[in-house]
Amino acid sequence: MKMWSQPSLVERARAAIGRGDLLSAYDLARQDGGSGTSAELSYIAVLAMARMGEAEQAMRLYQQSGLSTAGDVDSQALGARLLKDQALQNGAAYSGLKLAAEAYAEAYRRSLDPFPAINAATLNLLAGDEDRARQFAQAALGAPSVDAPADYYGAATRAEALAILGREAEAMAAIELALKLPGADVGARSTTLRQFELLARHRSGGHQLRPIISRLTPPAVATFSGHIFRADPATEATLAAAIDDQLAALNIGFGYGALAAGADIVIAERLLARGATLNLVFPFREDDFIASSVLPAGDEWLKRYYAVREKAAGISFATLANYVHDPAQFGYGATVAMGMARLRAQHLCTRAVQLAIWDGKAKGGPAGTGHDVQEWRSTGGTTFVIPADGLDRSIAYSGSDIAPPDRCLKAFMFADFPGFTRITEDRLPHFWSRVMATAGDVLARYSATLDFANSWGDAVFAVFDTAEAAADAGLALQAALLGIAPEELGRDRPTQMRVSLHFGPVYFGQDPITNRETFYGTEISRAARVEALTPPGSVYASEPLAAVLANTSSDRFSATYVGKIDLPKGFGQYPLYALRRRPATTLLHAAEAVAE
C-alpha cells in the first residue's frame, strides 16, 4: 500500500466518506486534492463525486487530477467504476457495459485483486455474458481475502460473487458476516447496496436478492419539525420516549432541521443519544434565531441549545441575512432543510421521512409545524407525527412595531457573456441581434412564470416564480447559445454565458427610478456574486435552489456539488452546485423504491 501525504486531512476525508457525508468529503479532499499534490485526496474527491451520482463530472476530475495515468490498482479500478457509472446512466448499453467490464478485467489481470474481479463479473452479467460473469465471480471467490474475509469488503465481495453464481442463501450469510466486520460503515454499505440493486434488476430471479437489499439499506434520513414549548421534565420524559420509539421504528440515522426551543431541541437530543448524525439548518443569522426561537421559551433552553450545537456534524444557513420579522423566513429555512435531507438520502440510496411533533392543526400561513407538514406531504413525502399533548406552549413572543415591507420567495437568474469587452465595435450589433436576442427568446418561453427581466450590456437578470422555471430557463439558455457560431463574434471558443441561479426571500416594490415593479434584497446580491464564479457554459445553483429542486424535481435535474466557494466582495463562503438535466434513462435510486 502506498504512503499518502497529509494523514490528518486524509483521515477526515475518509471518515466523511465512511459516514456517507459526501459533500464534506469532497470539500476536505479538494483543499489539497485539486492541486494534484496528494494522490489519495484526489482519489477521495473523485470517489465522492462518483458516489453522488455525477459520473461525467467525476470522470473530468479523474482525468484532470492525473489519476487516469496512475499505475496502482485503486486508481485503475476507480476509472473502471466511472466507465460503469457512465454506461448505467446512458441506458446500460451493451458496448458501455463491456467497455467498463474490460477495464475492470485489465485491472484484475495486472493485480489479481478481487475487487476489480467482482466488478468485472457483475458488469459481464449485466451485459448478458453469463459465462464471463461466472469466471470472474469464481476468481474473486478464490482470493484469500474473500475466501476467509477479515473485513467488510472481503465479505461483501464474497456475497456478490455467490449471488452471481445463484447461491443466494450463502450470499445472505456472507452479508450478515460483512456487517459484523471492520469497515461496515454507511458509505460502504451504500456501495454494496447499489451493486445488489443492479443484480436484482438485470438477472432472472432478482426478487430472491430483496432480503439482502433490505439488510444493506442504510439508516433513513429524517427532517424534523415541531412546536416550541416551555421546558417541563415530566412531559419531556414521555415525549422523549415516544421520539425514541419512532426513531428506532424508522431506523433513523441522520437528521436535518433547525434548533428552536421545545420540539427541535428534544428531537435533536434524542437523535444524538442514538448515535445519529445531526445536521442543523438555520433559516437566518444565528443570533437572531436564538433571540426569536430559543429565548422566548425560557432561558433554560439556551444551555441545551449550545450542548446540541456542539455535537452537530454539520451547520448550514438558508440565508446569512438577519431576521426581518417575516414569518416566511422560517418556512424558507424548513424547505431548505427538507431538500438537504432528500439530497443526503439520494447519496446514501435510502429514504427520507419527516418527523413532526404536531397538534394536528393546519393553521395556514407561510411557516409553522403545520406548514412544514403540508410542504413535505405536498412533495410526496411521508410524515410520522408524534402528538403534541400536554405541552406548555404559552410563549410570549416579542414582535416588531414595524411591519416588514412586501416580501416573497423567488428564484433569480444572473447571466453574462465573458469576453464581452473584447468584442470589437463593428460586431456589437451582431452580438445584440444574436446573443441577447437569443436570451430574450428563451425568456419569452417562460413568460407564465417570469416575474421580471432586465439587461444591461451583456448582462441578464431575471426573476422567476419557481425554482423549476429558473432551472429550465438557465439550461435552455445555454443550449440555445450553442447554435451561435463563435466566428460570428470573432471568437475561437463556444458562444456561451455564465449562468447562476438562486432561490430565496426578497422584497418587491416599485423602482423609484424606472417606476417599474422590481425586486431587491440581500439574496439577489448574493446570487449576483455567484455568477462571477461560474465557468462559461455552466449553470451554477446555490444550495437553497438545489434543495428546492430535490424536493420537487429530482427526476428532472441533477445538481452536482462543486464545493464551498469564496464569494467576492465579502459575501463569505457558499456551497454551490452545477446544474444539469437528468437523462431520461438515468437509473435513479429513489428513496421510496429502496424502502419497498
Q: What is the DSSP string of 51-86?
A: HTT-HHHHHHHHHHTTGGG--SHHHHHHHHHHHHHH
Q: What percentage of the chain reaches a pLDDT higher than 70?
A: 92
Number of other residues whose CB lies within 10 A of the CB of residue 68: 15
Instruction: Kindly state the cell numbers that stand for 405.
Output: 415591507
Instruction: Kindly state the cell numbers that stand for 181.
Output: 466486520
**Is the pLDDT confidence value at 564 over 90?**
no
Identity (one letter) of the amino acid at 38?
A: S
Instruction: Tell me which H or E stretch contains 511.
Output: none
Q: By mean pLDDT, which of 41-55, 167-181, 329-343, 427-441 is the weakest?
A: 41-55
**Is the pLDDT confidence value at 568 over 70?**
no
CA distance 555 to 536: 25
Q: Over the chain, what is the mean pLDDT?
A: 88
pLDDT, greater one: 28 or 287: 287
pLDDT, greater one: 2 or 25: 25
Q: Residues 237-263: pLDDT tens digits? A: 999 999 999 999 999 999 999 999 999
**Is the pLDDT confidence value at 87 over 90?**
no
Mean pLDDT, rounded, for 95-108: 90
**Is the pLDDT confidence value at 362 over 90?**
no
pLDDT at 590: 35
Q: By mean pLDDT, which of 155-169, 185-199, 240-254, 484-498 is the weakest?
A: 484-498
DSSP state of 492: S
pLDDT, greater one: 145 or 55: 145
Q: What percentage of the chain reaches a pLDDT higher than 90?
A: 58
pLDDT at 488: 80
pLDDT at 424: 86
pLDDT at 596: 34
Domains and CATH numbers, the chain: 7-216 (1.25.40.10), 220-387 (3.40.50.450), 407-592 (3.30.70.1230)
pLDDT at 471: 97
**Is the pLDDT confidence value at 551 over 90?**
yes
pLDDT confidence tier of residue 132, bands split at 50, 70 and 90? very high
**Is the pLDDT confidence value at 2 over 60?**
no
DSSP state of 583: P
Mean pLDDT, rounded, for 529-538: 80
CA distance 123 to 96: 10
Q: Are 529 and 571 in contact (CB under 8 A)?
A: yes
Secondary structure, 3-state, 307-373: HHHHHCCEEEECCCCCCCCCCHHHHHHHHHHHHHHHHHHHHHCCCEEEEEEECCCCCCCCCCHHHHH
Mean pLDDT, rounded, for 16-36: 71
pLDDT confidence tier of residue 1, bands split at 50, 70 and 90? very low
Q: Are 381 and 354 in contact (CB under 8 A)?
A: yes
CA distance 343 to 559: 9
Mean pLDDT, rounded, for 171-197: 92
Nearest to residue 84, comparing CAs of 112, 110, 58?
58
pLDDT at 571: 54
pLDDT at 4: 45
Mean pLDDT, rounded, for 565-588: 67
Q: Residues 289-326: pLDDT tens digits? A: 999 999 999 999 999 999 999 999 999 999 989 999 99
**Is the pLDDT confidence value at 566 over 50?**
yes
Mean pLDDT, rounded, for 153-179: 95
Using CA atoms, how far residue 246 sits from 383, 412, 516, in Å, is 11, 39, 52
Instruction: Kindly state the cell numbers that stand for 592.
Output: 421510496
Mean pLDDT, rounded, for 172-194: 92
pLDDT at 65: 85
pLDDT at 593: 36
DSSP per-residue letters across 118-157: HHHHHHHHHTT-HHHHHHHHHHHHTSHHHHS--SHHHHHH
**Is the pLDDT confidence value at 286 over 60?**
yes
Mean pLDDT, rounded, for 56-74: 84
Q: Residues 370-409: pLDDT tens digits? A: 999 999 999 999 999 999 999 999 887 766 545 567 999 9
pLDDT, greater one: 108 or 591: 108
Interacting residues of 141 by C-beta distance below 8 A, sequence separation 6+: 147, 158, 161, 162
pLDDT at 426: 87
Helices 437-444 and 467-481: crossing angle in degrees, nearest 10, is 140
Nearest to residue 107, comparing CAs of 143, 70, 133, 142?
70
Q: By mean pLDDT, which of 11-25, 92-106, 155-169 is the weakest?
A: 11-25
pLDDT confidence tier of residue 531, bands split at 50, 70 and 90? confident
CA distance 88 to 342: 22
Mean pLDDT, rounded, for 337-361: 94
Instruction: Kindly state the cell numbers that stand for 16.
Output: 466523511
Mean pLDDT, rounded, for 471-486: 91
Interacting residues of 558 by C-beta distance below 8 A, sequence separation 6+: 53, 54, 579, 580, 581, 582, 586
**Is the pLDDT confidence value at 469 over 70?**
yes
Number of other residues whose CB lies within 10 A of the CB of residue 7: 11
pLDDT at 187: 82
pLDDT confidence tier of residue 66, bands split at 50, 70 and 90? confident
**Is the pLDDT confidence value at 34 over 50?**
no
pLDDT at 35: 44
Q: By mean pLDDT, which of 58-67, 249-258, 334-343 is the weakest?
A: 58-67
pLDDT at 569: 56
Number of other residues whose CB lies within 10 A of the CB of residue 382: 14
